[in-house]
Structure 1
Amino acid sequence: MLVLLAFIIIFHITSAALLFIATIDNAWWVGEEFFADVWRVCVNSTNCTEIDASFQDYPTMQAVQATMILSTILCCIAFLIFVLQLFRLKQGERFVLTSIIQLMSCLCVMIAASIYTDRREDLHKNNLGLYALTQNGNYGYSFILAWVAFAFTFISGLMYLILRKRK
Protein backbone atom coordinates (compact mmCIF):
# COMPACT_ATOMS: atom_id res chain seq x y z
CA MET A 1 0.00 0.00 0.00
CA LEU A 2 2.89 2.38 0.75
CA VAL A 3 4.33 1.83 -2.71
CA LEU A 4 0.95 2.62 -4.24
CA LEU A 5 0.64 5.80 -2.17
CA ALA A 6 4.16 6.86 -3.13
CA PHE A 7 3.35 6.28 -6.81
CA ILE A 8 0.15 8.34 -6.55
CA ILE A 9 1.95 11.17 -4.78
CA ILE A 10 4.68 11.26 -7.45
CA PHE A 11 2.07 11.04 -10.21
CA HIS A 12 0.09 13.93 -8.71
CA ILE A 13 3.18 16.11 -8.27
CA THR A 14 4.15 15.36 -11.87
CA SER A 15 0.68 16.43 -12.99
CA ALA A 16 0.98 19.70 -11.09
CA ALA A 17 4.45 20.33 -12.54
CA LEU A 18 3.16 19.74 -16.08
CA LEU A 19 0.31 22.17 -15.47
CA PHE A 20 2.70 24.82 -14.14
CA ILE A 21 5.03 24.46 -17.13
CA ALA A 22 2.17 24.47 -19.66
CA THR A 23 0.63 27.56 -18.06
CA ILE A 24 3.80 29.61 -17.65
CA ASP A 25 6.13 28.69 -20.51
CA ASN A 26 5.96 30.54 -23.81
CA ALA A 27 5.68 27.69 -26.31
CA TRP A 28 2.05 26.99 -27.20
CA TRP A 29 2.48 28.03 -30.85
CA VAL A 30 6.00 28.21 -32.29
CA GLY A 31 7.65 29.00 -35.59
CA GLU A 32 11.08 29.82 -36.90
CA GLU A 33 10.95 33.50 -35.96
CA PHE A 34 8.41 33.60 -33.14
CA PHE A 35 6.85 31.81 -30.21
CA ALA A 36 3.50 32.43 -28.56
CA ASP A 37 1.56 31.26 -25.56
CA VAL A 38 -1.53 32.30 -23.67
CA TRP A 39 0.21 35.40 -22.26
CA ARG A 40 2.31 36.95 -25.04
CA VAL A 41 3.71 36.68 -28.57
CA CYS A 42 7.48 37.07 -29.04
CA VAL A 43 9.28 37.72 -32.30
CA ASN A 44 13.01 36.91 -32.41
CA SER A 45 13.06 36.47 -28.61
CA THR A 46 13.39 40.22 -28.14
CA ASN A 47 10.18 41.83 -29.37
CA CYS A 48 7.47 40.52 -27.03
CA THR A 49 3.90 41.75 -27.14
CA GLU A 50 1.62 41.06 -24.20
CA ILE A 51 -1.77 39.69 -25.13
CA ASP A 52 -4.20 42.40 -24.12
CA ALA A 53 -7.40 44.08 -25.28
CA SER A 54 -5.75 45.05 -28.61
CA PHE A 55 -5.97 41.40 -29.71
CA GLN A 56 -9.03 40.66 -31.79
CA ASP A 57 -10.20 37.62 -29.81
CA TYR A 58 -9.04 38.71 -26.36
CA PRO A 59 -12.03 37.33 -24.37
CA THR A 60 -11.34 33.87 -25.75
CA MET A 61 -7.69 34.14 -24.75
CA GLN A 62 -8.78 35.25 -21.28
CA ALA A 63 -10.89 32.09 -21.06
CA VAL A 64 -7.85 29.98 -21.91
CA GLN A 65 -5.73 31.84 -19.34
CA ALA A 66 -8.37 31.53 -16.62
CA THR A 67 -9.02 27.83 -17.12
CA MET A 68 -5.30 27.00 -17.17
CA ILE A 69 -4.76 28.92 -13.94
CA LEU A 70 -7.83 27.32 -12.39
CA SER A 71 -6.68 23.83 -13.37
CA THR A 72 -3.28 24.43 -11.77
CA ILE A 73 -4.83 25.77 -8.57
CA LEU A 74 -7.33 22.90 -8.37
CA CYS A 75 -4.55 20.35 -8.86
CA CYS A 76 -2.58 21.87 -5.98
CA ILE A 77 -5.67 22.02 -3.76
CA ALA A 78 -6.44 18.37 -4.58
CA PHE A 79 -2.95 17.40 -3.44
CA LEU A 80 -3.31 19.25 -0.14
CA ILE A 81 -6.71 17.68 0.48
CA PHE A 82 -5.24 14.27 -0.37
CA VAL A 83 -2.56 14.67 2.28
CA LEU A 84 -5.12 15.84 4.84
CA GLN A 85 -7.57 13.06 4.04
CA LEU A 86 -4.87 10.44 4.15
CA PHE A 87 -4.64 10.70 7.92
CA ARG A 88 -8.05 12.07 8.90
CA LEU A 89 -10.76 9.97 7.30
CA LYS A 90 -11.64 6.32 7.68
CA GLN A 91 -11.62 3.77 4.89
CA GLY A 92 -14.39 4.19 2.32
CA GLU A 93 -14.64 7.94 2.85
CA ARG A 94 -11.13 8.77 1.74
CA PHE A 95 -10.17 10.57 -1.40
CA VAL A 96 -13.66 11.19 -2.85
CA LEU A 97 -13.24 14.96 -2.47
CA THR A 98 -9.69 14.73 -3.79
CA SER A 99 -10.92 12.81 -6.82
CA ILE A 100 -13.68 15.31 -7.54
CA ILE A 101 -11.29 18.27 -7.35
CA GLN A 102 -8.69 16.50 -9.49
CA LEU A 103 -11.31 15.66 -12.11
CA MET A 104 -12.39 19.32 -12.09
CA SER A 105 -8.75 20.23 -12.74
CA CYS A 106 -8.78 17.74 -15.61
CA LEU A 107 -11.90 19.36 -17.02
CA CYS A 108 -10.40 22.86 -16.81
CA VAL A 109 -7.19 21.95 -18.64
CA MET A 110 -9.23 20.12 -21.28
CA ILE A 111 -11.40 23.21 -21.80
CA ALA A 112 -8.35 25.48 -22.10
CA ALA A 113 -6.53 23.25 -24.58
CA SER A 114 -9.71 22.65 -26.58
CA ILE A 115 -10.48 26.36 -26.85
CA TYR A 116 -6.90 27.06 -27.90
CA THR A 117 -7.03 24.27 -30.48
CA ASP A 118 -10.31 25.46 -31.93
CA ARG A 119 -9.62 29.21 -31.91
CA ARG A 120 -5.84 29.34 -32.41
CA GLU A 121 -6.00 31.27 -35.67
CA ASP A 122 -8.28 33.91 -34.17
CA LEU A 123 -6.27 34.14 -30.96
CA HIS A 124 -3.14 35.49 -32.62
CA LYS A 125 -4.81 38.08 -34.82
CA ASN A 126 -4.10 41.55 -33.52
CA ASN A 127 -3.57 45.12 -34.57
CA LEU A 128 0.23 44.81 -34.59
CA GLY A 129 0.58 42.86 -37.83
CA LEU A 130 1.86 39.68 -36.20
CA TYR A 131 -0.81 37.46 -37.71
CA ALA A 132 1.04 36.96 -41.00
CA LEU A 133 4.12 35.87 -39.06
CA THR A 134 2.35 33.61 -36.55
CA GLN A 135 0.15 31.97 -39.16
CA ASN A 136 2.93 29.58 -40.18
CA GLY A 137 3.86 27.61 -37.12
CA ASN A 138 3.30 24.45 -35.14
CA TYR A 139 1.95 23.58 -31.74
CA GLY A 140 4.73 23.86 -29.19
CA TYR A 141 5.71 21.65 -26.31
CA SER A 142 3.70 23.65 -23.75
CA PHE A 143 0.53 22.93 -25.70
CA ILE A 144 1.44 19.24 -25.82
CA LEU A 145 2.23 19.29 -22.09
CA ALA A 146 -1.23 20.73 -21.46
CA TRP A 147 -2.79 17.70 -23.15
CA VAL A 148 -0.45 15.34 -21.30
CA ALA A 149 -1.43 17.08 -18.04
CA PHE A 150 -5.06 16.50 -19.00
CA ALA A 151 -4.42 12.77 -19.27
CA PHE A 152 -2.40 12.70 -16.04
CA THR A 153 -5.01 14.58 -14.02
CA PHE A 154 -7.76 12.35 -15.41
CA ILE A 155 -5.87 9.18 -14.52
CA SER A 156 -4.99 10.62 -11.12
CA GLY A 157 -8.63 11.47 -10.42
CA LEU A 158 -9.67 7.93 -11.31
CA MET A 159 -6.88 6.47 -9.15
CA TYR A 160 -8.20 8.39 -6.15
CA LEU A 161 -11.66 6.88 -6.69
CA ILE A 162 -10.19 3.39 -6.89
CA LEU A 163 -7.87 3.99 -3.94
CA ARG A 164 -10.67 5.11 -1.61
CA LYS A 165 -11.69 1.51 -0.90
CA ARG A 166 -8.19 0.15 -0.27
CA LYS A 167 -6.85 -0.55 3.20
Structure 2
Amino acid sequence: MLVLLAFIIAFHITSAALLFIATIDNAWWVGDEFSVDVWRVCTNTTNCTVINESFQEYSTMQAVQATMILSTILCCVAFFIFLLQLFRLKQGERFVLTSIIQLMSCLCVMIAASIYTDRRQDIHEKNREFYNLKEGGSYGYSYILAWVAFACTFISGLMYLILRKRK
Protein backbone atom coordinates (compact mmCIF):
# COMPACT_ATOMS: atom_id res chain seq x y z
CA MET A 1 0.00 0.00 0.00
CA LEU A 2 2.91 2.33 0.71
CA VAL A 3 4.24 1.82 -2.82
CA LEU A 4 0.80 2.63 -4.27
CA LEU A 5 0.60 5.77 -2.14
CA ALA A 6 4.07 6.87 -3.28
CA PHE A 7 3.08 6.28 -6.92
CA ILE A 8 -0.12 8.33 -6.54
CA ILE A 9 1.74 11.21 -4.90
CA ALA A 10 4.47 11.14 -7.57
CA PHE A 11 1.85 11.02 -10.34
CA HIS A 12 -0.01 14.00 -8.87
CA ILE A 13 3.19 16.03 -8.47
CA THR A 14 4.12 15.19 -12.06
CA SER A 15 0.71 16.39 -13.24
CA ALA A 16 1.15 19.67 -11.36
CA ALA A 17 4.66 20.13 -12.79
CA LEU A 18 3.36 19.57 -16.32
CA LEU A 19 0.65 22.18 -15.74
CA PHE A 20 3.18 24.69 -14.42
CA ILE A 21 5.51 24.17 -17.39
CA ALA A 22 2.69 24.34 -19.93
CA THR A 23 1.33 27.53 -18.36
CA ILE A 24 4.61 29.38 -17.96
CA ASP A 25 6.91 28.32 -20.80
CA ASN A 26 6.98 30.11 -24.15
CA ALA A 27 6.37 27.32 -26.62
CA TRP A 28 2.69 26.92 -27.53
CA TRP A 29 3.28 27.87 -31.17
CA VAL A 30 6.83 27.94 -32.57
CA GLY A 31 8.40 28.82 -35.88
CA ASP A 32 11.91 29.34 -37.23
CA GLU A 33 12.40 32.76 -35.68
CA PHE A 34 9.51 33.15 -33.25
CA SER A 35 7.68 31.53 -30.39
CA VAL A 36 4.27 32.31 -28.95
CA ASP A 37 2.63 31.27 -25.72
CA VAL A 38 -0.38 32.46 -23.78
CA TRP A 39 1.58 35.36 -22.26
CA ARG A 40 3.94 36.80 -24.88
CA VAL A 41 5.20 36.74 -28.44
CA CYS A 42 8.97 36.43 -28.95
CA THR A 43 10.83 37.08 -32.18
CA ASN A 44 14.47 36.06 -32.55
CA THR A 45 14.27 34.65 -28.99
CA THR A 46 15.29 38.04 -27.58
CA ASN A 47 12.58 40.50 -28.54
CA CYS A 48 9.53 39.56 -26.47
CA THR A 49 6.26 41.47 -26.42
CA VAL A 50 3.66 40.88 -23.74
CA ILE A 51 0.23 40.01 -25.10
CA ASN A 52 -1.98 42.99 -24.26
CA GLU A 53 -5.01 44.85 -25.61
CA SER A 54 -3.26 45.50 -28.95
CA PHE A 55 -3.28 41.74 -29.58
CA GLN A 56 -6.15 40.97 -31.99
CA GLU A 57 -7.51 37.96 -30.10
CA TYR A 58 -6.79 39.30 -26.62
CA SER A 59 -10.05 38.09 -25.06
CA THR A 60 -9.43 34.58 -26.40
CA MET A 61 -5.93 34.56 -24.95
CA GLN A 62 -7.29 35.82 -21.63
CA ALA A 63 -9.66 32.85 -21.53
CA VAL A 64 -6.76 30.46 -22.18
CA GLN A 65 -4.63 32.19 -19.53
CA ALA A 66 -7.39 32.09 -16.94
CA THR A 67 -8.29 28.44 -17.44
CA MET A 68 -4.65 27.32 -17.41
CA ILE A 69 -4.01 29.21 -14.17
CA LEU A 70 -7.20 27.83 -12.66
CA SER A 71 -6.26 24.27 -13.63
CA THR A 72 -2.84 24.66 -12.02
CA ILE A 73 -4.34 26.08 -8.82
CA LEU A 74 -6.98 23.36 -8.64
CA CYS A 75 -4.36 20.65 -9.12
CA CYS A 76 -2.31 22.04 -6.22
CA VAL A 77 -5.41 22.41 -4.03
CA ALA A 78 -6.40 18.80 -4.82
CA PHE A 79 -2.97 17.63 -3.69
CA PHE A 80 -3.23 19.43 -0.34
CA ILE A 81 -6.76 18.15 0.20
CA PHE A 82 -5.54 14.63 -0.58
CA LEU A 83 -2.86 14.96 2.09
CA LEU A 84 -5.44 16.22 4.58
CA GLN A 85 -7.88 13.44 3.71
CA LEU A 86 -5.11 10.89 3.96
CA PHE A 87 -4.87 11.56 7.69
CA ARG A 88 -8.50 12.54 8.39
CA LEU A 89 -10.61 9.97 6.51
CA LYS A 90 -11.77 6.81 8.21
CA GLN A 91 -10.67 3.48 6.86
CA GLY A 92 -12.65 2.41 3.79
CA GLU A 93 -13.75 5.91 2.71
CA ARG A 94 -12.98 7.28 -0.73
CA PHE A 95 -11.13 10.45 -1.67
CA VAL A 96 -14.18 11.94 -3.40
CA LEU A 97 -13.44 15.63 -2.73
CA THR A 98 -9.90 15.25 -4.02
CA SER A 99 -11.21 13.47 -7.10
CA ILE A 100 -13.78 16.17 -7.85
CA ILE A 101 -11.22 18.96 -7.59
CA GLN A 102 -8.70 17.05 -9.72
CA LEU A 103 -11.35 16.39 -12.37
CA MET A 104 -12.22 20.11 -12.35
CA SER A 105 -8.54 20.81 -12.98
CA CYS A 106 -8.68 18.33 -15.85
CA LEU A 107 -11.71 20.11 -17.28
CA CYS A 108 -10.01 23.52 -17.07
CA VAL A 109 -6.87 22.41 -18.90
CA MET A 110 -9.02 20.73 -21.54
CA ILE A 111 -10.99 23.94 -22.05
CA ALA A 112 -7.80 26.02 -22.35
CA ALA A 113 -6.13 23.69 -24.84
CA SER A 114 -9.36 23.31 -26.82
CA ILE A 115 -9.87 27.07 -27.09
CA TYR A 116 -6.27 27.48 -28.21
CA THR A 117 -6.62 24.66 -30.73
CA ASP A 118 -9.83 26.10 -32.16
CA ARG A 119 -8.72 29.73 -32.32
CA ARG A 120 -5.00 29.25 -33.09
CA GLN A 121 -5.37 30.01 -36.79
CA ASP A 122 -7.30 33.23 -36.13
CA ILE A 123 -4.90 34.27 -33.38
CA HIS A 124 -1.75 33.89 -35.45
CA GLU A 125 -3.08 35.02 -38.81
CA LYS A 126 -4.45 38.29 -37.41
CA ASN A 127 -1.30 39.05 -35.43
CA ARG A 128 1.36 37.85 -37.88
CA GLU A 129 1.75 41.21 -39.60
CA PHE A 130 1.54 43.20 -36.36
CA TYR A 131 4.44 41.26 -34.80
CA ASN A 132 6.34 40.73 -38.09
CA LEU A 133 6.12 36.96 -37.82
CA LYS A 134 6.94 34.65 -40.68
CA GLU A 135 4.23 32.37 -41.96
CA GLY A 136 4.14 28.80 -40.74
CA GLY A 137 5.06 27.25 -37.46
CA SER A 138 3.88 24.30 -35.47
CA TYR A 139 2.58 23.44 -32.05
CA GLY A 140 5.30 23.64 -29.42
CA TYR A 141 6.09 21.36 -26.54
CA SER A 142 4.17 23.48 -24.00
CA TYR A 143 0.99 22.95 -25.99
CA ILE A 144 1.67 19.21 -26.10
CA LEU A 145 2.44 19.21 -22.37
CA ALA A 146 -0.94 20.85 -21.75
CA TRP A 147 -2.67 17.91 -23.45
CA VAL A 148 -0.46 15.42 -21.59
CA ALA A 149 -1.35 17.21 -18.34
CA PHE A 150 -5.01 16.84 -19.29
CA ALA A 151 -4.59 13.08 -19.56
CA CYS A 152 -2.58 12.89 -16.32
CA THR A 153 -5.07 14.93 -14.31
CA PHE A 154 -7.95 12.88 -15.71
CA ILE A 155 -6.27 9.60 -14.77
CA SER A 156 -5.33 11.02 -11.37
CA GLY A 157 -8.92 12.14 -10.75
CA LEU A 158 -10.19 8.67 -11.59
CA MET A 159 -7.58 7.06 -9.34
CA TYR A 160 -8.72 9.18 -6.40
CA LEU A 161 -12.34 8.30 -7.12
CA ILE A 162 -11.56 4.57 -7.07
CA LEU A 163 -9.01 4.67 -4.25
CA ARG A 164 -10.16 3.73 -0.77
CA LYS A 165 -8.20 4.31 2.37
CA ARG A 166 -6.86 0.97 3.54
CA LYS A 167 -4.51 -0.18 6.24
Is the shorter-chain TM-score for this pair beyond 0.5, marking a shared fold?
Answer: yes
Q: Please state whether the residue corresponding to 1:164 is helix, strand or coil.
A: coil
Identity value in percent = 83
CA displacement 1:123-145 (0-9 Å, x = unmatched): 23338623752x41000000000
Paired residue for 1:30? 30
Residue 93 in 1 paired to residue 110 in 2? no
Query: Contact between 1:99 and 1:161, CA under 8 Å: does it hold in 2?
Result: yes
Can you give the 5+ residue segments of structure 2 that lack an aligned partner in the other structure?
none
Paired residue for 2:65? 65
Residue 5 in 1 paired to residue 5 in 2? yes
Alignment RMSD, CA only? 1.5
Offset at residue 154 of structure 1 (A) = 0.1
Alignment of 1:14-29 (within 5 A): 14-29=14-29
Can you give the 5+ residue segments of structure 1 that lack an aligned partner in the other structure?
none
The 3 A distance-change label for structure 1 pair 78 and 60 is: same
Paired residue for 1:77? 77
**Separation in structure 2 between the aligned mates of residue 49 and residue 143 of structure 1, nearest angstrom:** 19
Offset at residue 55 of structure 1 (A) = 1.0
The 3 A distance-change label for structure 1 pair 51 and 128 is: farther
Q: Please state whether the residue corresponding to 1:136 is helix, strand or coil.
A: coil
Residue 53 in 1 paired to residue 53 in 2? yes
**Separation in structure 2 between the aligned mates of residue 91 and residue 98 of structure 1, nearest angstrom:** 16
Offset at residue 114 of structure 1 (A) = 0.3
CA displacement 1:76-115 (0-9 Å, x = unmatched): 0000000000000113433100000000000000000000
Calculate the TM-score normalised by the size of structure 1: 0.94
Offset at residue 19 of structure 1 (A) = 0.2
Query: Contact between 1:56 and 1:127, CA under 8 Å: does it hold in 2?
Result: no
Query: Contact between 1:31 and 1:137, CA under 8 Å: does it hold in 2?
Result: yes
Paired residue for 1:129? 130
Query: Contact between 1:106 and 1:153, CA under 8 Å: does it hold in 2?
Result: yes
**Separation in structure 1 between the aligned mates of residue 132 and residue 104 of structure 2, nearest angstrom:** 33
Paired residue for 1:151? 151
Q: Please state whether the residue corresponding to 1:126 is helix, strand or coil.
A: helix
Q: More displaced, 44-53 or 77-86?
A: 44-53
Calculate the TM-score normalised by the size of structure 2: 0.94
Offset at residue 166 of structure 1 (A) = 4.6
Q: More displaced, 84-93 or 154-163?
A: 84-93
The 3 A distance-change label for structure 1 pair 132 and 45 is: closer
Query: Contact between 1:34 and 1:45, CA under 8 Å: does it hold in 2?
Result: yes
